[in-house]
Structure 1
């Protein structure tokens, strides 16, 4: 089982997004090399699961994470924020040692 938590707000937003997608679509979150601080998160809509994907579910919402990204995201909480700055998924990752000013890139 993945050591990643999906908050009720994130699950609600994922369900809203997936309402416009074909049945069985899921949100994929991955960690990519690059960005000002070394790594960045990517969010994609995926219509098929890979055999080795880790599946995180809550309240009907499904998130897929590949095994390599899972190593970088272990212990994380995925939330959704809707504030004055805008709407975005927020990942609270205890492994992150620093992040850039724009908030989209991080280092471990």
Structure 2
């Protein structure tokens, strides 16, 4: 890794606060991370999907990727591909439990169009 890359990662790790994670989501994410000793945090990304264009993704991280920027948000390590930063900025992550259904919900004020099911979106 180049020195400039490590400085960039250190900058982001300590300064970027553009994601909000609700208390319910924090509890569930911590539970999932602790389910396996190899888990380091979560990776939030964007994937082309659905009728509106994109959807958010979230997965457990066991190994850092070279394009990851790493942030500590509410004591959770959050890994984001550097190419996705502008699309993820402003997102609020919640964990919703409705009877037997449990799901992480991503809300972003930059949504331009939502798909009918609410899973895909386009951004200004």
TM-score (norm 1): 0.84
- 1:76-91 mapped onto 2 (5 Å cutoff): 76-84=91-99, 86-91=101-106
RMSD of aligned residue pairs (Cα, Å): 1.9
Report the secondary structure of 1:44's partner residue: strand
Name the counterpart of 1:101. Answer: 116
CA contact (8 A) 1:5 1:77 kept: yes
SS at 2:63's partner residue?
coil
Larger radius of gyration: 2
Give the total of aligned pairs.
107
Deviation at 1:61, TM superposition (A): 2.7
Alpha-carbon contact 2:33-2:40 (below 8 Å) kept: yes
Runs of 4 or more consecutive aligned structure 1 residues displaced over 6 Å after TM superposition: none
Name the CA shift for 1:50/1:94 in 2 (closer, same or farther; >3 Å): same
Say whether residues 1:53 and 2:53 are aligned partners. Answer: no
Q: Verify: 1:69 aligned to 2:84, yes or no.
A: yes
CA spacing shift, 1:56–1:6, aligned 2, 3 Å: farther
Q: CA deviation at 1:81?
A: 0.9
TM-score after normalising by structure 2: 0.75
Q: Is the 8 A contact 1:38 1:106 kept in 2?
A: yes
Q: Which runs of 5+ in 2 are unaligned?
A: 1-15
Shift in Å, 1:42: 1.4
Cα displacement (A) at 1:34: 2.4
Structure holding more helix per residue: 2
Unaligned runs of 5+ in 1: none
